[in-house]
Structure 1
């Protein structure tokens, strides 16, 4: 259960606490707060934040010898409306505590008889997220669990209301690179509209433990885990001058009517028609180079991709579809040079 706190009140409380005049000796007695500690203070465990926003950034630039710029970035609801109906729940888990995760709300509704379990996705969610009378995922003591969902899911018996509760629109005017030779557009006129499904950010409290990946890289047991579902219902972009995986040059390609989902093929179960992505991030050391840096591992992306209008040089050459498009067994090590 969660306490719903207005964001302004939450921030004001933090500022007041931070500004209090305490003797230095008092800080020696400060200890991390757990959910059980918070519960004894507030009567409820965890914090809920309701969010409405629109984000605009004129330019984001990374400068090395040259510069890479993202121009005209904006994030909003459909048709440049406010991005709203967002709810964040934040918890520090106790040992074995079951907290909301993934499609656990679907499992809760199915158990209450609000959704038809003859639907394979609903039945899968009930089996996956039912935890002895609770619904979600069990976590370890000290794990921070942030779950993104909706404030209002609409009719609890309507699955489509749940899946389309949070709509978004992402726009980017252009992605450019510049240097002594001038500048060039890599991509331009990027527009993506769709829906955000359940999204989880988990900071695992692994202490100082480490583990070894299949490729020999060593990574920290304390890591950030991302698990998200989403759907792109309408997208477009111009691919002006860029290579795909350093093999295919897609310069002068235009895509219209882009859709990214998971409604076809052999791996749809449990995804409710949405594309999915998971990844883990932590400090790591490369087995090959011995360099330490940011390890991005256990990466997986699953989707069906439809491009009904695929243009080359401004002329449509037909449509392109990918079914059961999957990226898996992927590890990335990022470090400076």
Structure 2
């Protein structure tokens, strides 16, 4: 309720209008109209950056059906049980055609600035692949959610080694076991993996209700989660107590020491900077074979070289094992309950 008399109220209104006009006139002189061409080049630049350090311990992780599968004594940390740190997550929702950080785009940015030698085939490949219209990254569609994991500090900007080893990790698992009415059995034990995390991307593609059909006939949603990661295992060991590989080879009582997973030799090293590469897309899907709906894991790809310098059968080493250009391609999975 106002207690001003009408004349005073009119005076204050006039005074407010005059003050607003005195501010607005010079301010309007600074504004320039944007035509359609200019507006087309404007994209959202806001996003969220998270600097992350963590250490994860899980005593028991158990999946129970008629029996149970247990993962015991899991630890994720930095190497030598230190804190997993120097990680940076950038999270963006893309505008139409927006170029955002992806893969080795930081390498392309440095190469363009003359900080890295483009006579290196990997550097030249990154510059060609991630240079998009004056920006560096990958172009996305409107509404795509893009999460990029890199390092907070890459060290010397002219050093590829500093870049590739900026984020180190260690994964340790005491054992993986199964339990049923007949007792329990150990599948794997004393697992230790040390290495480096390269650029890792999670993208949720916004494609509405559209679907597409895979080569095997499965129908999958066009809105999907896309995972793309590079990594290296520099030292690993495990005991393979009782397990089948591709239903053909039984590796019971196998011990592996000095395990390395990388991509430094063979015919498919280009663009990977010596790191193993894995990617997969996940979405809702319908199986062409059974008609069942479930989780579709499709367009799966894994490329690496694998070295096992100590390969034991029981307590005796039988020598070393190497895989060159180990590749899993053209792989699709449909996962559903029964």
* TM-score in terms of structure 2 length: 0.87
CA distance in 2, matches of 1:314, 1:206: 54
1:150 matched to which residue of 2? 151
User: How far does the alpha carbon of each residue in 1:251-276 deviate from its partner, in whole angstroms, 9 at most, with x for none?
Assistant: 00000000000000000000000000
- Any idea what SS the aligned residue of 1:154 has? coil
CA radius of gyration, larger in: 2
* Residue 21 (structure 1) aligns with: none
Distance in 1 (CA, whole Å) between partners of 2:322 and 2:301 is: 20
CA distance in 1, matches of 2:107, 2:91: 20
Partner of 1:272: 273
In the aligned structure 2, how far is the partner of 1:247 from the partner of 1:307?
20
Q: Determine the structure 1 residue equivalent to 2:121.
A: 120
Match in the other structure for 1:18:
none
Residue 8 of structure 2: aligned partner:
none
Aligned-residue offset at 1:245: 1.1
d(CA) in 2 for partners of 1:83 and 1:117?
Answer: 32
Give, in angstroms, the shift of residue 313 of structure 1. 1.2
Where do 1:74-113 residues align within 5 Å?
A: 74-113=75-114
Residue 315 of structure 1 corresponds to which residue in structure 2?
316
- C-alpha separation in 2, matches of 1:71 and 1:156: 40
Question: Alpha carbon RMSD of aligned pairs, Å?
Answer: 1.3
Structure 2 residue runs of 5 or longer lacking an equivalent are 1-42
Q: Distance in 2 between matches of 1:309 and 1:240?
A: 16
For residues 65-113 of structure 1, give each alpha carbon's deviation from its aligned partner in whole angstroms, at most 9, with x where no partner exists: 0000000000000000000000000000000000000000000000000
Secondary structure in 2 matching 1:241: coil
Q: How does 1:12-23 map to 2 (within 5 A)?
A: none
Question: Secondary structure in 2 aligned to 1:153?
Answer: coil
Give the deviation of 1:222 after TM superposition: 0.4
Deviations 1:276-301 (A, max 9, x none): 00000000000000000000000000
What is the Cα deviation at residue 132 of structure 1?
A: 1.2
Counterpart CA distance in 2 for 1:245 and 1:171 is: 24
**Partner SS, residue 116 of structure 1:** coil
Local SS of the residue matching 2:161: helix
Query: 1:236 aligns to what?
Result: 237
Q: Which residue of 2 aligns with 1:297?
A: 298
Aligned equivalents of 2:272, 2:202: Cα separation in 1: 18
Alignment pair present for 1:48 and 2:49: yes
- Displacement, 1:52? 0.5
In structure 2, C-alpha distance between the alignment counterparts of 1:311 and 1:58, rounded to whole Å: 28
**Could you tell me which residue of structure 2 aligns to residue 258 of structure 1?**
259
For the residue of structure 1 that corresponds to 2:319, the secondary structure is coil
Runs of at least 5 residues in structure 1 that lack an aligned partner in the other structure: 1-37
Deviations 1:95-146 (A, max 9, x none): 0000000000000000000000000000000000000110000000000000
Which secondary structure does the structure 1 equivalent of 2:158 belong to? coil
Identify the residue that residue 5 of structure 2 maps to in structure 1.
none
Match of 2:222 in 1: 221
Equivalent-residue separation in structure 1 for 2:60 and 2:208 (angstroms) = 38
- After superposition, give the CA deviation of every residue in 1:191-236 in whole Å (9 maximum; x if it has no partner): 0000000000000001000000000000000000000000000000
Number of matched pairs: 298
The answer as to 2:188 corresponding to 1:187 is: yes
Question: CA offsets, 1:139-168, max 9 Å, x none?
Answer: 000000000000000000011000000000
Q: Would you identify which runs of 4 or more consecutive aligned residues in structure 1 move more than 3 Å?
A: none
**1:223 and 1:331 mapped to 2: Cα distance?**
14
Q: How far 1:63 moved relative to its partner?
A: 0.1
Separation in 1 of the partners of 2:330 and 2:108? 29
